[in-house]
Amino acid sequence: MGHRKLTIWKKLGYGIGDISQTTGFTIVSFFFLFYLTDVVGIDPRLAGYVLLFGKVWDAITDPAMGIISDRTASNFGRRRLYMMWGALPYAITFILLWIKPAFITGGLEFIYYTAIFLLHSTALTVVIVPYNALSAELTQDYDERTSLFSYRMVFSILFGLVAAALPPLVKDSQPDRLTGYMLMGLTFSALIFIPMMVTAFTTREKFKAAPNRIRSFRETVSTLWKNVAFRIAALVFLFSWMVLDVVAASMEYYVTYVAQLKPMFPAILGALFISSALCIPLILWLSNTFGKPMTYIIAIAFWMSNLVLLFFIPSKSPGPLFTVAILSGVGVAAIHVIPMALAADVVEVDELITGERREGIYFGILTFMRKVATGVGLFFLGNILAYSGYVANAEQPDSALTAIRIGVSFIPMFLLAVAVWIVSQYPLTQEEHTAMVEELEAGRESSIYV
């Protein structure tokens, strides 16, 4: 059963759900810190703590949601039940992120946005952990999984472009900045709700819950830690997405204050995201030819050679900036496809060790790491801006301009170098994974399948 090919419609049905995740993540990554500091007026250090507190909360809720979905037995399966019921709260809390009630003033702003961000993170967890876990159930074939994630990440990248390039047009359409951001939240909430519902009704799960085999939380964590392949895949995933979030959050500051090309911001993002989408087939071909770890190393090394240029590009130089954006598509595409595909393969390692299908806990931890990447990256970026002398909505001192340049070039390069070294240690080859799947299928009882 693991080697059965997925139809294009099944891949599209699953992939479209990523629009919900990408829309929320991208808009928060690109605009939420800027909104808190330059629109609401919260000190950059406090704004960083808003995001950091949300990630501390996620450390509890994401793994817990993974365990809950693993143990769920319902007519809608282990995953789709939560995707259906969680989509609306996810959309509503997203809207609330961009609303500032008139009575919230002074120190209450920090408390208010911390509370709203915690609610939003919880709603996101209920939806995205089961959605991510579903990917490992749809197919167990090594190359077919890469193909499935390629379909998914085309949606991710294209709607990442939509979620990065179009919100400025919406929010800037209003003379009042608070009204503009509120309109932005309302407009894009539809892209958070509808795609997840489509996936919930167009996919089917393969495995049933097996409550009689479920281990305690302590035993669960212990067996996860023993899975070396997962430890490596998770760290690659963490560092990869931290880079994307740091670059994403830095980009508006960079284009506005360093490059002094703010009107061209949507076009620059468009060049980056379109290039990334066009590079997905290249990443799929490289993966099928050289394997997932080597594909990641090749693509990321190429991207690092481009990122360094951002530190040296003079202001008001659109040509070089567009060139870097286009060339960066290879690295961005690799980050979207490879780390998640590596992580999906380790589920079979776990099943071989424990005899259980526990996609939920694995992808619960990955979802937590995805949020950690956002929270930690934006926390440090907010503090770098604060200590560099950054002043919102003003001409920046040289120290702040240098800090922004570093934030968009050398910091991501360092994180990517760490990720490349980690992925080089990944122990699972395609041949080993294929043999493992065949061994597992031969030993499974038919009752485990839906």
Confidence of residue 326 (pLDDT cuts 50, 70, 90): very high
pTM of the model: 0.76
pLDDT at 299: 96
pLDDT tens for 267-279 read 888 898 899 989 9
Classify burial at 188, counting beta carbons within 10 Å of its beta carbon; exposed 0-12, middle 13-18, buried 19 or more.
buried
What would the mean pLDDT of 418-427 be, rounded to a whole number?
94
| Percent of the chain whose pLDDT exceeds 70 | 94
Q: Which two tokens stand for residue 284?
A: 């799929």
Confidence of residue 215 (pLDDT cuts 50, 70, 90): low
Q: Which two tokens stand for residue 301?
A: 């090394």
pLDDT tens for 173-213 read 898 899 999 999 999 999 999 999 999 999 887 766 555 55
What would the mean pLDDT of 256-269 be, rounded to a whole number?
87
Identify the three-state secondary structure at position 425.
coil
Confidence of residue 445 (pLDDT cuts 50, 70, 90): low
pLDDT at 182: 94
Identify the three-state secondary structure at position 327.
helix
Classify burial at 187, counting beta carbons within 10 Å of its beta carbon; exposed 0-12, middle 13-18, buried 19 or more.
middle
Who wins on pLDDT, 248 or 114? 114
CA distance 188 to 20: 10
Lowest-confidence segment of 72-81, 322-331, 402-411 by average pLDDT: 72-81
Share the mean pLDDT of the chain: 86
Given a contact cutoff of 8 angstroms between Cβ atoms, the answer to whether 303 and 328 are in contact is: yes
What HEC string does 107-166 produce?
A: CHHHHHHHHHHHHHHHHHHHHHHHHHHHHHHHCCCHHHHHHHHHHHHHHHHHHHHHHHHH
For residue 318, is pLDDT > 50?
yes
pLDDT tens for 18-37 read 999 889 988 987 788 889 98
Confidence of residue 1 (pLDDT cuts 50, 70, 90): very low
The candidate with the shortest Cα–Cα distance to 61, out of 274, 406, 300, 368, is 368
pLDDT at 270: 84
> What separation, in Å, do the N-terminal and C-terminal C-alpha atoms of the chain show?
12
Q: Which two tokens stand for residue 167?
A: 């919100």
